Amino acid sequence: AVHSVGAMAILYVATLFYLVLNVVASSDVIELTEDTFSETLEKHELILISFYDPDDQIWLKQTWYGEAATQLASSSLPSNAPFPVAQIDCKKFDSFCKSHEVTTHPQLKLYREGKFFKNYRGYPKAGDITKFAKKMMEPGATEIKSVKKTERLLDGVNHTVIGFFAEESSLQKAFLVATHLFCERFICAYTTKPAVLEKYGYQNDVVIFQPSHLQTKLEDHQIVYAGGEDYYEMQRWIEDKFAGIVGHVTMENYHLFLNKRPMVTVYFGLNFKLNPKDGKYWRNRIIKVAKNFSDKNVTFGMASKSEFSGLLYRRFLVKEEEVDFVVGIAGGFRTDDRPKYLMQTLFSVENFQMFMQGFVDGTMQPFVKKQPVPENNNGSVKVVVYDNFDEVVRDPTKDVLIVFYQDYCGKCRIFEPKLERIGEKLKNDPNIVIAKIDAMANDPPEDYDVKVEDFPIVFWVGIGKKDTPRRYPGSRLEIPFLIEFMKDVATHPPVVIDIVDQPSSRDEL
């Protein structure tokens, strides 16, 4: 009993100590309301705000935010003011939080000069948050102090953004702030050294330098910023202009082109290391066509077809070794880039020009992956392709269990005999259809969320619910679980033949 009382006393003291520590840490956090939010932002040059839900278990157990606030309370902004940290209760101010594009809790957002600046995407640790906040107080670009270092920086294979400043200016301030928005994706630097300014002939300018292997007489090698001092405007300019008229798309920089649609890409045997002249030659041919569509808001790029062989097959069913050139257009922001377009003629400047003209005129039909409709489709599992999807899956008189798969998927091969078994069990049911579609060889309808990494994917498409397919919620693709699932969701009780199943060697996929 004595030991028990002693243990309880120790637990009480430890809990009290924990609470005291938490209160001390949290005392440096400003609690915001909808009414005080804007006025608080206006008071501070920088402020970090957590949008939290007080019922969230992660938030209830955390101490890291208060600890970060305490660490930052001793840090000074360039104006010598302390770095403020705040929070707002999104359970109490739900609509207000949603108006600030809060999608999860807790979500940390940095505000600068009264406006949203950047989301914190790091780990929920006090040290990481403090490091992030302190980094935002410093220039986002590296300072270069000599001509030699500038030349070394520009001797790489990537586009480089450099700010040249002979004296302090509002443009310099805007650039050093804006670099926090884009320097994680681009090479950025700035200089104030007279020797560097004299060498390159700039005094108060922001310049994009094109790497030497892409330089051509058909476009400027250096692009000078001519906009205002708003750092978001500067960010948009850099993202729009960094690649030149025809960008060199690689796996390393592919993400920089994902928000550029429509995106026209010419894939060929591009290899600047082994054959730089060939790369420049074909880039010049592409530029000649691209210039004719400079006012159409279309982005042009070129890429190695071997580097993007997987993407070419997934998007267009084109194998690298079958053609010398592939010209494709990613028209949308879906994961499969639909609507998409494929040039069906041999590549030449003339054919490329005609292809682009058809696209901008709207006379070209989108490319669709599809197999022929099977002549005999009387098996217990119906084969669905692009052209018979509506006939089979959207039949208003049938419930349909449809599986999206691909031939090269190991899990799909394991599931195949199980699906056939399910088809056999339900072959006498007049109201339920068991079906499958090769989603690599056929583009799925746009209202189906189908990703390659999720195959095989099972959907239930019920009578009267053809526009709202329901994804199978379980992770175990076993016959008994799927039969029970159908019993729960079917419009009519399933007619199941009692076939003895062989025990599975694997419990789940």
- Place 228 in a pLDDT band, splitting at 50, 70 and 90: very high
User: Over the stretch 332-379, which tens digit does the pLDDT of each residue have?
Assistant: 666 667 789 999 999 999 999 999 999 999 999 999 999 999 999 999
User: Which of 141-150, 253-262, 277-286, 298-307 is the least confident region?
Assistant: 253-262
Residue type at 48 in one-letter notation: L
* Predicted local distance difference test score (pLDDT) of residue 34: 95
Cα gap 383→437, rounded to integer Å? 6
Question: Under a CB-based contact definition with an 8 Å cutoff, are residues 434 and 381 in contact?
Answer: yes
User: Over the stretch 297-320, which tens digit does the pLDDT of each residue have?
Assistant: 999 999 999 999 999 998 999 999
What is the DSSP annotation of 271-329? -TTT-HHHHHHHHHHHHHHHGGGTTTT-EEEEEETTTTHHHHHHHH---GGG-S-EEEE
User: Over the stretch 188-224, which tens digit does the pLDDT of each residue have?
Assistant: 999 999 999 999 999 999 999 999 999 999 999 999 9
DSSP code, position 454: G
Q: Is 129 exposed, middle or buried (0-12, 13-18, 19+ CB in 10 A)?
A: buried
* Predicted local distance difference test score (pLDDT) of residue 192: 97
- Place 71 in a pLDDT band, splitting at 50, 70 and 90: confident
Name the residue with tokens 């003629």: 345
Q: Is the pLDDT of residue 14 over 50?
A: no
Q: Which residue has the higher pLDDT, 20 or 360?
A: 360
Q: Is the pLDDT of residue 264 over 90?
A: yes
Q: Is the pLDDT of residue 327 over 50?
A: yes
Residues of the chain with pLDDT > 70, as a percent, come to 90
Q: Is the pLDDT of residue 24 over 90?
A: no
Q: What is the mean pLDDT of the chain?
A: 88
User: Over the stretch 134-176, which tens digit does the pLDDT of each residue have?
Assistant: 888 888 899 999 999 999 999 988 899 999 999 999 999 999 9
* Predicted local distance difference test score (pLDDT) of residue 23: 33
* Predicted local distance difference test score (pLDDT) of residue 255: 86
**Where does 305-419 show beta strands of DSSP type E?**
326-330, 340-342, 382-384, 399-405
Cα gap 410→231, rounded to integer Å? 48
Q: What mean pLDDT is predicted for residues 22-32?
A: 66
Q: Is 5 exposed, middle or buried (0-12, 13-18, 19+ CB in 10 A)?
A: exposed
* Predicted local distance difference test score (pLDDT) of residue 76: 66
* Predicted local distance difference test score (pLDDT) of residue 505: 45
- Place 27 in a pLDDT band, splitting at 50, 70 and 90: low
Residue type at 460 in one-letter notation: W
User: Over the stretch 102-135, which tens digit does the pLDDT of each residue have?
Assistant: 988 889 999 999 999 999 998 889 999 999 998 8
